[in-house]
Amino acid sequence: MDRSQIRQPRRSSRRPTLPDPHGLYHPAYEHDSCGIGFVVNIQGQRSHDIVAKGLQVLNNLEHRGAQGCDPCTGDGAGILLQIPHEFFARVAPASGLALPQAYEYGIGMVFLPADPAGRRLCEQIAANVIAEEGQRLLGWRDVPVKDSHLGEQARASLPAIRQVFIARDILSEADFERKLYVIRKRIERAVRESAIPERETFYLASLSCRTLVYKGLLLPKQLPLFYQDLADASVVSALALVHSRFSTNTFPTWSLAHPYRYVCHNGEINTLKGNVNWMRARQGRLQSDLFGDDLQTLKQKADEIAAIMKTVNGVKDLKVEQIAGQPYLTVDIDRKKIARYGINVADVQEIVETAIGGKVATHVYEGPRRFQLLLRFPFDARNSIQAIGEIRVKSASGAPIPLSDLATIEMREGPARISREQVRRRIYIGFNVVGRDIGGVVDEGRKKLAAQLALPQGYTITWGGAFENMERANARLLVVVPITLGLVFFLLFWAFHSLRYAALIFLNLPFALIGGLVSLWVTGQYLSVPASVGFIELFGLAVGNGIVLVSYINQLRREGRSTDEAILAGCSVRLRPVIMTMMTTLLGLLPLAVAQGIGAEVQRPLATVVIGGLFSSTALTLVVLPALYRWFEEAP
């Protein structure tokens, strides 16, 4: 493929797409409120009756779907089924396909550009990705559809609908299913980043060796009329998941119909922002990282750390990183045996690599395109330990020796992942903190680990997550707060041209500090980074109140009033502005102080500090500050 064709993205004008963010609208906040249904045979017996009942459920959910000004165009409908192997084995030869046994291949339901040139480019990308992932493309099938029942909007944006068939060239069904997921994501990304016209029409509704999705921009009753396959009696399944879409603030498209491949869901969770928030909600707030060299020792000591941390008050949702459980096929070569036959280790390794993993022999050129020619044993000759053991290795005398006579072949459990940080192996222990401050939990955890845990030499523990962020923020605050206070004092001196009056107003800050600390203690909260930010905001309000009072007293003194008269008059006249400042701020922050939703852990400490500090600061400003004015007074 000419790579100039797939580099620079352009916006397609044919397929209905989501508008760009503008005003109060943003695509991230789109969500659906739809109808869902599920029919299953609990014995796992497949039948067309399950399919028919699923379609009947979908038709009964028409009231949960929606339609626009075009009464024949719905917001979308679809059905998920098990792959009916007998049906495809019968119809595939008409498309020039020879299918293997059930679960030995995967089927993808693909929406392609209606333009033939764009469709071929998308299919070529798919073929390249399938080959790069070591699987075999069997071919494509045009899905029989009947669009006479569609509305004008649905017909105008109708994509070309085809099914892609991929042979299973991997050991297990589960591994093949994971491989198909990788293939789907790679194809979608490659097409999305290409410059293919109408590339936004491309969509993989499903790609699996187990299930298949039929869906579209349809009304529920239109689905079996549009897809002719669903009327065939040999289309059998033991389950049927159906979905009738109701777009509350989204735009109907072919791809957004039936928006799931594994889990049937409904309502507000069908938003990108909602899913991101749910993922973040499951993340541990604190994380303890254990560094070392040996994976077994890391796992053993991590379990010990988790057991100790369970005894710390406030620790919840403990989780140790899973680093084991991945099955590996191992070929352990017996050097004595291969020496007896005059075979080198490299010879055995080369045979194993070529037979199982495949080896590029040459390249095939087709016009400007280049393809790798990969040599590998047929699937039946490498799909089990017994088959791999029958692979022959030529001895020095030319006799073929079974691989099982030269090596031990077995499946072993190994590490599922090996995490590294700063060139050291690592395992994490994550947990949340409930009803207690993070610093206190970490301090208690450190003391208990120091007393009860014995780590081998070279193994170390670090603390991360919210605690690491808190320490980083505290370090910044240790720099920011003194600079801020110094800047405030300088501005006060610049405003009054007096160190005395600047110091007098600056004494108002401890009054605010008292109320903030008491409010945290009363509400059972702790001094956190949001609370520290609240104190900075509170200091600004307290300084403002002090400036209002002292500047007015000074004005009265310059007008000839005595000190006592100026203080009494100033407090009386400026009482209302000071109280109004306090009340407007208090009423504005009160909803944050009682918040319980997402972000409340940040909002509540900040609001609590400011509200509590305003009470003490306002009261003491009107009482103590006038009394101290006599000591700091300068001649008018």
Which residues are catalytic, by number?
34
Backbone angles phi, psi at 42, to 5 degrees: -70, -15
Q: Which strand (E) or helix (H) includes residue 485?
A: helix 466-496
In this structure, what DSSP letter does residue 81 have? E
CA–CA dist 501, 625 (Å, integer):
11
The greatest distance separating any two alpha carbons of the chain, rounded to the nearest whole angstrom, comes to 122
Q: Could you tell me which of 552, 559, 565 has the C-alpha nearest to residue 505? A: 552
In this structure, what DSSP letter does residue 199 have? G
Q: How many CB atoms lie within 10 A of CB 458?
A: 11
CA–CA dist 195, 503 (Å, integer):
67
Q: What string of H, E and C letters represents the secondary structure of 328-392?
A: EEEEEECHHHHHHCCCCHHHHHHHHHHHHHCEEEEEEEECCEEEEEEECCCHHHCCCHHHHHCCE
Q: What does the DSSP assignment read for 578-620?
A: HHHHHHHHHHHHHHHHT--STTHHHHHHHHHHHHHHHHHHHHH
Beta strands 419-421 and 77-82 are unpaired
Residues with Cβ < 8 Å from 499, sequence gap 6 or more? Answer: 493
Backbone angles phi, psi at 332, to 5 degrees: -95, 105
Helix (H, G, I), strand (E, B) or coil at 32: strand
Backbone angles phi, psi at 256, to 5 degrees: -80, -10
Helix spans in 403-465 (H)? 438-452
Q: How far is CA 595 from CA 276, 592, 599, 607, in A?
A: 21, 5, 8, 10
Q: How many CB atoms lie within 10 A of CB 492?
A: 21
Q: Which two tokens stand for residue 219?
A: 């009304």
Residue pointed to by tokens 């499903």: 206
CA–CA dist 403, 388 (Å, integer):
7
Q: Which two tokens stand for residue 89?
A: 């084995």
Q: How far is CA 582 from CA 299, 550, 606, in A?
A: 55, 17, 16
Q: What angle do CA 418, 420, 426 make, to 5 degrees?
A: 80
Residues 62 and 141: beta-carbon distance below 8 Å: no
Amino acid at 289: D
CA–CA dist 250, 396 (Å, integer):
70
Q: Which strand (E) or helix (H) includes residue 185?
A: helix 173-192
Amino acid at 440: G
Backbone angles phi, psi at 538, to 5 degrees: -65, -40
Helix (H, G, I), strand (E, B) or coil at 253: coil
Q: Which two tokens stand for residue 243?
A: 């979905």
